C-alpha cells in the first residue's frame, strides 16, 4: 500500500493532508489545528515512526499546519443511539447559528432516517452543476443537502459501505463556497459509516446529543470515543429531553432522570453545553418544518445560548 494511503488509514489519517516521498525522504503535511503543544508533538512523533517503519525510508519531515482550513468550518452532530433528538437539535442549532449572523449549511448524512428536509421545510431536489450538487435554500436561512433529497420519500436507505460513502461524499463535496459553518447531521451510532464519514469530512469539532438516562449516556460515551479516535475535538454534550413541565398541573418531572448528562460530561472531560426540556411544542413545531429556533420564546433563547457556547468552544479548539 502506498505510504500516503497507509498514513491516511492510520489513527491520524484525518489529519494527514499530503505525503511526498523523494530519495527515501518522506515529507508529511498534517493539520495540527486545535492541538496543544504536547498533542502536536505526539502527532508528529506518531507520523514520524509510522513513516520510518517503511522499508527504504531514511528520513521523515513532518510539517504541522496550525492555519485553519479555508472554506467552511464543519460541526458534526452525533449521538450514540437513535431517537435522542439529534436531528431536531442539529436543525435548530443550524438556524440559531444563522440568526447569529453566520452563513450556515446543513449536510444531512443520516442515511438511516434523513429528517432534515422535513425539519427545515425543504422539499425540492437539489440542483446540480456538472457533478456538483447545489445546496437548496430553506425558509430559515440554512441551505441544505440531504440524502433524503437523493432518494424518493419514504424509501428505507439500506445502503452499505461504498454506496453510502459515495452518496455522503457528494453531499460534503457540494457547492458550499461562501458558507461559514456546515452542520453535519450524522447517522446515529458509532459504526463504520460514521467513522469513514468523520474521517472524510474532517469536522473542526463535534457536538454530542444525549438524553439523560444511563443507557443513552453509555452510548454517548462511545460517540465521544469515536471522535477522540479520529482527532476531532468534542465541543460538548447537549442533554435533550431533560425535564418536563406537566401541561395540566404545572408540576415539573424528570421522566429520564436529572443531571445525568452533566455529570457524565464532567467524568468524560467534555464541556456540558446545556439542556433542552422535553417539550411538545418543540416536537410539533420542529416536525412541522418550523424550527422554534427561528421564532421567539424560551426554545429560541435556549438554542441561541447553545449556539453561542458552540462558537466559543470552536474558538477554543482552533486557538
Ligand atoms: N426536546 C424534545 N422534546 C420533545 N420531543 C423531542 C425533543 N427532541 C426531539 N424530539 C422528538 O423526538 C423525535 C426524534 O427526534 P429526532 O429525529 O431528532 O432524533 P434523532 O436522534 O435524530 O433520531 P434518528 O437519528 O434515529 O433519526 C422527533 O419526533 C422529535 O420531534
Q: Can you tell me the ipTM of this complex?
A: 0.97
The count of structural domains within the chain is 2
The answer on 83 and 60 residing in a single domain is: no
Which of 80, 88, 194, 278 gets mutated to test ligand 1 (max ligand atoms within 8 A of its CB)?
A: 88
The answer on 141 and 27 residing in a single domain is: no
Please state, in angstroms and rounded to a whole number, the distance separating the CA atoms of residues 82 and 214: 15
Those residues of the chain that have pLDDT short of 50 are none
Domain of residue 281, CATH code = 3.40.50.300
The answer on 57 and 95 residing in a single domain is: no
DSSP string, 112-134: T---HHHHTT--SPPEEETTEEE
The answer on 49 and 84 residing in a single domain is: no
Residue 195 near residue 226, CB atoms below 8 Å: yes
The answer on 50 and 84 residing in a single domain is: no
- At residue 76, the pLDDT reads 95
The answer on 167 and 149 residing in a single domain is: yes
The answer on 168 and 212 residing in a single domain is: yes
DSSP summary character for residue 153: T
Binding residues for ATP: 80-87
Q: What is the pLDDT of residues 234-257, one digit of tens each?
A: 999 999 988 887 777 767 787 777
Q: Among 48, 65, 82, which residue terminates a domain?
A: 65
What domain range includes position 201? 73-318
Domain of residue 49, CATH code = 3.30.300.130
The answer on 249 and 216 residing in a single domain is: yes
Q: Name the residue at shortest CA distance from atom 30 of ligand 1.
A: 283
Q: Among 15, 34, 65, which residue terminates a domain?
A: 65
Other CB atoms within 10 A of residue 144 CB: 30
Residue with cell 441551505: 143
Q: Name the residue at shortest CA distance from atom 26 of ligand 1.
A: 82
Closest ligand 1 atom to Cα of 241: 1
Q: Among 16, 40, 65, which residue terminates a domain?
A: 65
Q: What is the pLDDT of residues 114-170, one digit of tens each?
A: 899 999 999 888 999 988 999 999 999 999 999 888 876 556 566 666 666 777 888
In 44-174, the DSSP E strands lie at 59-65, 73-78, 104-108, 127-129, 132-134, 142-146
Please state, in angstroms and rounded to a whole number, the distance separating the CA atoms of residues 293 and 89: 10
The answer on 90 and 171 residing in a single domain is: yes
Amino acid at each position: 500500500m502506498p505510504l500516503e494511503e497507509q498514513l491516511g488509514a492510520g489513527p491520524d489519517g484525518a489529519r494527514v493532508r499530503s505525503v511526498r516521498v523523494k530519495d527515501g525522504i518522506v515529507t508529511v503535511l498534517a493539520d495540527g489545528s486545535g492541538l496543544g503543544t504536547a498533542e502536536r508533538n505526539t502527532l508528529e512523533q506518531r507520523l514520524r515512526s509510522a513513516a520510518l517503519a517503511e522499508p527504504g525510508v531514511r528520513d521523515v519531515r513532518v510539517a504541522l499546519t496550525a492555519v485553519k482550513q479555508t472554506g467552511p468550518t464543519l460541526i458534526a452532530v452525533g449521538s450514540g443511539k437513535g431517537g435522542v433528538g439529534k436531528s431536531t437539535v442539529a436543525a435548530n442549532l443550524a438556524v440559531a447559528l444563522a440568526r447569529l449572523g453566520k452563513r450556515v449549511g446543513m449536510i444531512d448524512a443520516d442515511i438511516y432516517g434523513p429528517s432534515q428536509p422535513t425539519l427545515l421545510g425543504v422539499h425540492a431536489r437539489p440542483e446540480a452543476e456538472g457533478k456538483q450538487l447545489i445546496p437548496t435554500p430553506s425558509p430559515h436561512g440554512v441551505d441544505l443537502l440531504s440524502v433524503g433529497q437523493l432518494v424518493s420519500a419514504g424509501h428505507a436507505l439500506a445502503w452499505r459501505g461504498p454506496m453510502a460513502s459515495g452518496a455522503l461524499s457528494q453531499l460534503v463535496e457540494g457547492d458550499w463556497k461562501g458558507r461559514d459553518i456546515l452542520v453535519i447531521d450524522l447517522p446515529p451510532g458509532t459504526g463504520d459509516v460514521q467513522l469513514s464519514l468523520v474521517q472524510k469530512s474532517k469536522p473542526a469539532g463535534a457536538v454530542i446529543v444525549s438524553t439523560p438516562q444511563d443507557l443513552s449516556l453509555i452510548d454517548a460515551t462511545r460517540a465521544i470515543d469515536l471522535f477522540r479516535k479520529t482527532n476531532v475535538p468534542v465541543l460538548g454534550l447537549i442533554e435533550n429531553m431533560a425535564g418536563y413541565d406537566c401541561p395540566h398541573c404545572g408540576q415539573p418531572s424528570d421522566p429520564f432522570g436529572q443531571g445525568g448528562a452533566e455529570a457524565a460530561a464532567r467524568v468524560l472531560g467534555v464541556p456540558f453545553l446545556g439542556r433542552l426540556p422535553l417539550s411538545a411544542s418543540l416536537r410539533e413545531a420542529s416536525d412541522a418544518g418550523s424550527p422554534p429556533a427561528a421564532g421567539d420564546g424560551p426554545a429560541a433563547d435556549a438554542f441561541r445560548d447553545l449556539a453561542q457556547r458552540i462558537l466559543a468552544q470552536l474558538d477554543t479548539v482552533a486557538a
